[in-house]
Structure 1
């Protein structure tokens, strides 16, 4: 778990409903949600939304981030361009738990056209309740971070 219980959420137009369901769910579990939109279903570009959320996490303004698009892939790629971000796209709770425990992921990406709401909430819960295990995994995370040079 992270000490900073402030979390940023963003998506493209394809994932607004799921993003809002996730926001409601995690707010009910004590997280301060910063939802940076969008708010309409007008077509928008996922890279700008992924990078905006990633910048809030990288700056420390938010402890974690959750981003969504149709598959979760494109928005995740954009977020990972921001130094200090380790974002993984997950379609199951096991993977979401492992990216926190082994990779110290600070962002989660979900495909709104890939998983339904119930599964998405399970994925989010697994991500938010897991903590980084450190140890041998810290060496590997350091190696990932050094690739940003």
Structure 2
């Protein structure tokens, strides 16, 4: 947990990549709290649609140019509840070897299966997000990650797409 949070807090352009494991774990509230604390844009796979409020200022989308923009731009991809296996219902990660990937999954066989993972958090998405949120809060004195106005950028990118 500590290593994953350290990488996240050092990232300039992190992106939270949400898979259906968040829905299975009933972890939508924990995901929302985590995303708000770390002030990072959020995308979901098609099967995870609804895991994060679609009217939330940090929500980028499920598909489209705006999602591709953030997949290209991110220097750290923070995957939660996803196998990270590209397919009809998920996203391929462009230039994955030049990005730092943190992979939070319940199945350790998914780690490093498709993309190289810098840090893995193995466990249920709900418990992992609770622990990650607590660690970020502890490392930032409850202030979260300072990153400027990410919500305004997300709004701008969504509007342009």
Using CA pairs below 8 Å that are at least 6 residues apart, which structure has the higher relative contact order? 2
TM score, norm. by length of structure 2: 0.39
TM score, norm. by length of structure 1: 0.42
